[in-house]
Chain A
Amino acid sequence: MMKTHSILSTGVLALSLLLAGCAGESTSDSGNENAEDSTQISFIHWRGEDKAVLDDIIAQFEDENPNISVEMTIYPSEQYQATGQRLLQDGSTGDVFTSFPGAQFEAIASAGLFEDLSGEDFVSHFDEELISVGQKDDAQLALPYQLVFNMPVYNKGMFEELGLEVPKSWTEFQEMADTLLENGITPIAFPGADIGPNQFMNSMMMNNAPDEDIFEKLQNGEESLTNEWWVKTLEDFQLLEQNGYIQDDALGTSQDSAMAMVANEEAAMLATGSYHMSALLDLNPDLQLDLMAPITVEESEAVYEGINTATFMLAVNSQSEKKEQAKEFIAFLSQPEIASQYANETGQHLTVNDVEYESEVLQNTAYWIDEKTTRFQPRFLITNAQIEAAVLSSIENVLGGADPMTAAEEAQQLVDENRE
């Protein structure tokens, strides 16, 4: 009896230890052989999926710079948003760090934790236009490294089979969606349970409100969510839901489920962004993918064709005592051949000039960088997180069955309460 008990208890304990593990940050120290003589800098970010390639790049950096070693610590992105800034405050962590654009960038800038990088030679390695999001008060505080397109990924092969063309207007978009429905395909897989609303809102509103200062005006009281631009956006969301252009129960669908729908060709579009193309191809290597934003106005009124976000903004901690070494590391990351390695191994477009994209999907979508008219992700121009939440909740409200004007009024009330 006792023996059975012991075995049972040991089994339960072992299983518990296995299951009770909880994801946390991961730290990798390159183990530089000259570590004792070298200056160690800390590099913190949130891209766990890039660990392998960054480990390799760090090893190359340390070979070229034997007097500098890099300790990389990766935090889950939610934790990074919550605690990243605090880590920077005493200067011992995050000599090189990354920041999200928008609210986090503004908060770190207000706290004076960005070292001004204006005038550094390596700044010229980046696309001048794309790095403007890292500027404040005429100073280059951070350098966005990645360039993502926050607009639906679509199954190009499926479109070709069905004789569909990329719609250039809202009328054409609805005709395209109807054709897909007639063929038993859900037009849009929408991950409403997590990132769907905050990604899809960008392309849904880009032509309804072409003014890039619209959210700044909303925050300072010059604009309202009850005005035409946002009510029309909510009406467009309502139309997608009511016509079955997005799947049933969309607000309960996670991004994994939505991705599975596209990978299994049950749905034609994934309402997230270019960063999911590699993962979709992992799930179904036969897919031919491209990007397409819904044009919610008539063709003649369309100003933008898509959405871009320059993110993963590299920066040097103003509190660091190793600023020069930190800048050396950023300079290294900005070399075209290193940036090319990072781009190709992570499946991301970058803001660095002269990057050579080798993967088919990156090559096929690189035309979005130069040939298409895209605008910076509007959501990141909402610098007040409570106002951003109010905007997003109005979309959820409409997809949950509320009238667009009512949802807009409720959201505007929250905006008014949170305006500074």
Chain B
Amino acid sequence: MKISKSIYLFFLPGVLLYAIFFVYPTISALFYSFTDWDGLSQSFQFVGIDNYERAFTGDTIFRKTIGNNLKFMLVVVVFQTLVALAFALVVLKNTRTTIFLRALYFFPTILSSVSVAFIWSFIYDPSLGILNQVLELVGLGFLAQNWLGNADIAIYSLAVTQIWFHAGQMLIIFVAGLQAIPDELYEVAKIEGANKWQTFRTVTWPLLAPSATIVIAYTTIQSFKAFDLVFAMTGGGPNNSTEIVATYIFDIAFRNYQFGYASAISVIFMIIIAIITFLQFKALRSDRISY
């Protein structure tokens, strides 16, 4: 059957949108990363690789933001994936209760990040916040903390909020993946005498690997780009302890008017995310099994 060349026209809208909203901004960022453009003036100078050199050798805060981002990402990826998977296993069957629970767990995802930031800032408030008050009430007052004001723990407090915010979204992906596993495989495992852990390890997890890959990759990207929560809850403080690359780029571009340098950091940031995501795909792909 001969395919008409006009069929390629159907690709055009998608390609155009992709080119306008992804390719062009990316190329622009790359271009401006070699300039000293302030984001406002009509003119700028080419500065070669100065911006990249500054990022790697002369910017303590940038290096700190990479560290903060990695801490944040590790906590969020590990715990969000585990929480989402555990809850998915609990609400897997289609009963009235589990359908309600799925909706309930998904609920935080549909809130705006500003609302979430507001809710959690109130929860974490050291004097009026509900978290410290509950800890006091149940006799665990010694665990009460200055959750967002202590530079040693603030990034982890933000990570908890991020997990609460997005775990429901990942739960849905896991539920879909779990429901796609044929029941026959569980029956075989049962006949073979496998216990629950063995069944999970040899049947569920290998067949869930494609969903897990998506969840982990998406969670990684999401945690690298968690600009709004950080911006609204701590603004990067105290003492830059919650400053992540995305909020730092904003500061450099929009508060310090150094678009050229901010573009260079954005390019480095994009490459870091791409490398980490690629490594994750490679690692998780090797776990995949087909029966």
Interface stretch, picked from A19-27, A31-39, A169-177, is A19-27
Contact A20 B59, CB 8 Å, known A103-B255, A192-B238: no
With most chain A CB atoms within 10 A of its CB, the pick from B59, B61, B235, B237 is B237
**Bound-complex Cα distance A400 to B152 (A):** 9
**Residue pair A8, B103 in contact (C-beta under 8 Å):** yes
Contact residues in B for A193 (Cβ distance below 8 Å): 121, 148-149, 234, 237-238
**Residue pair A252, B126 in contact (C-beta under 8 Å):** yes
**Residue pair A257, B127 in contact (C-beta under 8 Å):** yes
Interface stretch, picked from A270-278, A340-348, A389-397, is A389-397
Interface stretch, picked from B22-30, B110-118, B134-142, B264-272, is B110-118
Contact residues in B for A78 (Cβ distance below 8 Å): 231
Contact residues in B for A82 (Cβ distance below 8 Å): 250, 254-255
| Main secondary structure on B side of the interface with A | loop
Contact residues in B for A85 (Cβ distance below 8 Å): 39-40
Contact residues in A for B128 (Cβ distance below 8 Å): 257, 260
Kindly state whether residue B100 has any CB partner on chain A within 8 Å. yes
Q: Which residue of B lies closest to A189 (CB)?
A: B127
14-67 of chain B: CB within 8 A of chain A: 38-41, 58-61
**Residue pair B126, A86 in contact (C-beta under 8 Å):** no
Q: Which residue of B lies closest to A78 (CB)?
A: B231
Kindly state whether residue B204 has any CB partner on chain A within 8 Å. no
Contact residues in A for B218 (Cβ distance below 8 Å): none
Kindly state whether residue B161 has any CB partner on chain A within 8 Å. no
Contact of A19 among B59, B61, B111, B257 (CB under 8 A): B111
Contact residues in B for A21 (Cβ distance below 8 Å): 112
Separation in Å of the B240 CB from the closest CB of chain A? 6
Interface string of B76-104 (1 = CB under 8 A from A): 00000000000000000000100110010
**Residue pair A253, B127 in contact (C-beta under 8 Å):** yes
**Bound-complex Cα distance A4 to B10 (A):** 41
**Residue pair B58, A417 in contact (C-beta under 8 Å):** yes
Kindly state whether residue B173 has any CB partner on chain A within 8 Å. no
Kindly state whether residue A110 has any CB partner on chain B within 8 Å. yes
Contact residues in B for A113 (Cβ distance below 8 Å): 40
Contact of B59 among A81, A253, A417 (CB under 8 A): A417
Kindly state whether residue A284 has any CB partner on chain B within 8 Å. no
Binding site for A on B (CB under 8 A): 38-41, 58-61, 96, 99-100, 103, 107, 110-115, 121, 124-128, 146-151, 231, 234-235, 237-240, 250-252, 254-257
Contact residues in A for B111 (Cβ distance below 8 Å): 16, 19-20
**Residue pair B39, A249 in contact (C-beta under 8 Å):** no
Contact of B121 among A12, A23, A254, A386 (CB under 8 A): A254
Kindly state whether residue A385 has any CB partner on chain B within 8 Å. yes
Contact of B239 among A89, A248, A393 (CB under 8 A): A393
Binding site for B on A (CB under 8 A): 1, 4-5, 8, 12, 16, 19-23, 78, 81-83, 85-86, 89, 103, 107-108, 110-111, 113, 192-194, 247-254, 257, 260-261, 384-386, 389, 393, 396-397, 399-400, 413-414, 417
**Residue pair B112, A111 in contact (C-beta under 8 Å):** no
Q: Which residue of B lies closest to A395 (CB)?
A: B239
11 new A-B contacts, CB < 8 A, other than A107-B38, A107-B40, are A12-B103, A20-B112, A85-B39, A89-B40, A103-B257, A107-B257, A110-B41, A193-B234, A252-B147, A252-B149, A417-B59
Contact of A251 among B100, B113, B146 (CB under 8 A): B146
**Bound-complex Cα distance A89 to B126 (A):** 43
Contact residues in B for A257 (Cβ distance below 8 Å): 125, 127-128
**Residue pair B151, A111 in contact (C-beta under 8 Å):** no
15 A-B contacts, Cβ less than 8 Å apart? A22-B113, A78-B231, A103-B255, A107-B40, A192-B149, A193-B234, A251-B238, A253-B125, A253-B126, A254-B125, A386-B61, A386-B252, A389-B251, A393-B238, A417-B58
